[in-house]
Amino acid sequence: MSTTVLEQRLYSVADWYDAEALLTTEERAVLGRLRNFLDTEAKPLLAEYWERGDFPEQLVRPLIDLGIMEPFAAPARGIYQGFRIFELARTDASLATWYTAQAGLFRTAIRIGASEAQQKEWMPKVIDFSLKGVFSLTEPEHGSDIAGGLSTTARFETGVDGGAGPDGGSWVLDGAKRWIGGASTADVLCVFARDVADGQVKAFLVDRLAPGVSLEKINGKTSLRMMQNAHITLQNVRVPEAMRLHNVNSFKDVAAMLRAMRSDVAWIATGIQAGSFEAALSYAKERRQFGRSLGSFQLVQEKLARMLGNITASLSLVVRLTEQQGRGIYRDQDSALAKMQTSLFMRETVALAREVVGGNGITLASDVARFHADAEAVYSYEGTHDINALIIGRALTGDSAFTR
Ligand code: FAD
């Protein structure tokens, strides 16, 4: 491959088999503009905000104005959506996670859970970020076993007139949610709660400022420090029937959301690898030991080759999964496989990148340290390694090893 050809491509080295050839010229141009913004405006802030444990809110408006949600006629093509997440994650895992909280989790909740009329009202606002929402599923006592264990309750109360009231009556929510990403700046929390009447899981858009809702920032994180996660308590919180997602009638509907969202996380895990690999490669070319560049040593070249192999395999996985989903094929085991395997590759890639950078690889002055730390949260969220493996195992054997 000649240098000239490499320079023309958006992802030169990390996208070894040229998956970006699947993008249109227009899509590549938008990604190029996103890249410029991230390089000039975001990158200089990352180390400082990571250390402070703060999200650089000043990036939000310009990112929205760049049209990161839907720059073309909606819906954007899956492959372009994937590369958009890849580009963000290649810069920073918290930025990608912040973006997918709205563009992936919340939008998917509305797309799958809201009725046609509700979608008509909310979706344009979701897309232009004027209605910011978060996905509030995990609870303090229920993470991996949330499907059967979800214990936040929803109780329906009829209106004061004894009937359903003008808005169809209201619900009363009680319980707690944990780890909810982006909750402190959201307009609404999409809360999943169990209806005490029929025992089924339902979903509600809860005003973040509603009486009875309290948020506490989770401090002391060693991973994804820029992304804000909240512990949420719900006490006697009233939600009108109109704010219930009318197409969520059981956990099966939530599972359909998770199935669609997990592929986004696989794109994040792939983008993180690209970012850490590129940082390690450029360091290996510049840093000299024993009178030669690190990159000239055979053992370092082997590490670089393994990283590239991991990234190439990850990109092949997510591209193929995205193509399948574009054809309407959504299976639990498919997105679980992509999330599990790209996360395994990610863990190895970020560790190798950190190793190549030596002592400097544990300071925030090098990008590899941030990627290395942030990868741990991505490894665990939206289904841990074990849970995704068990989803695949269930599909392979027909025997569920983890559901009751
Ligand atoms: P646990 O379920 O307690 O698991 C602990 C360990 O035990 C894991 O290694 C797990 O794999 C293993 N384990 C559990 N059960 C089994 C089994 N049957 N067999 C074998 N091993 C098992 N949730 C949201 O709803 N919204 C969000 O926005 C959100 N954002 C997040 C952001 C971050 C940074 C993090 C860390 C989490 C976030 N989560 C969010 C929650 C996330 O999805 C959960 O952390 C995840 O599902 C795992 O649950 P847990 O942490 O309670 O671990």
Q: What is the mean pLDDT of residues 2-17?
A: 71
Residues 240-267 have a mean pLDDT of 95
- What does CATH list as the number for 252-397? 1.20.140.10
Alpha carbon of 71 to those of 128, 132, 137, 291, 323: distances in Å? 10, 18, 29, 49, 20
- Tell me the average pLDDT across 119-130: 92
CA distances from 267 to 43, 78, 94 (A): 20, 11, 13
Residue 57: band (very low, low, confident or very high) from pLDDT cuts 50, 70, 90:
very high
Does the structure show a pLDDT above 60 at 71? no
- Which top CATH class is 133-249? mainly beta
Quick: pLDDT tens for 343-368.
999 999 999 999 999 999 999 999 99
Pocket test for ligand 1, best of 108, 134, 144 (most atoms within 8 A of CB): 144
Q: Does ligand 1 have an atom closer than 6 angstroms to the CB of 224?
A: yes
**Ligand 1 in reach of 382 Cβ (< 6 A):** yes
Share of the chain above pLDDT 90, in %: 87
Q: pLDDT, tens digit, for every residue of 129-150?
A: 999 999 999 999 999 999 999 9
Q: Are 338 and 324 in contact (CB under 8 A)?
A: no
pLDDT at 76: 77
**In a mutational test of the pocket of ligand 1, which residue from 384, 386, 400 has the highest number of ligand atoms less than 8 Å from its CB?**
384
pLDDT of residue 9: 87
- Phi, psi at residue 215, to the nearest 5°? -120, 140
Instruction: Give distance in angstroms: CA of 135 to centre of ligand 1.
Output: 14
pLDDT at 229: 98
Can you tell me the mean pLDDT for 64-93? 84
pLDDT at 7 over 50: no
Mean per-residue pLDDT of the chain: 93
Domain boundaries 3-113, corresponding CATH code: 1.10.540.10
Q: Give the pair of three-digit tokens for residue 276.
A: 């850490």
pLDDT at 103 over 60: yes
Q: Is the pLDDT of residue 168 over 70?
A: no
The predicted pLDDT at position 6 comes to 39
Question: What residue has token string 């027909």?
Answer: 398
Domain boundaries, the chain: 3-113, 133-249, 252-397
Looking at ligand 1, which atom is closest to the CA of residue 383? 47
